[in-house]
Amino acid sequence: MKEETTSPNPHYGEKGGFRKVTVTVPPDVYERLVRESARRKIAGEPNQLLSALLREAVNDYLERLPLE
């Protein structure tokens, strides 16, 4: 049974319960994030900010892990 999770990218003003985390990433990962951000912006897709991309990536990773 899967835990119910919060959307990684809720609407503006709905992240009051979120916790701030600082990460350091290698240059190649940063470049890939910037490229994906630009791709989304050009395509008119939502969640273009690097923080949104990182939230999605962490959420997707954790969803794949088995529950303990």
pLDDT of residue 33: 97
The domain limits of the chain are 27-64
Per-residue pLDDT at 4 exceeds 70: no
Does pTM surpass 0.85?
no
Per-residue pLDDT at 1 exceeds 50: no
Tell me how far the alpha carbon of residue 42 is from its chain's centroid: 18
Sign of CA dihedral 9, 15, 19, 24: positive
Residue by residue, DSSP assigns 2-18 as: PPP---SSPPTT--TT-
pLDDT of residue 8: 87
Place of tokens 């709905």: 14
pLDDT digits (tens, 9 = 90+) for 8-26: 888 888 888 889 999 999 9
pLDDT digits (tens, 9 = 90+) for 32-43: 999 999 999 999
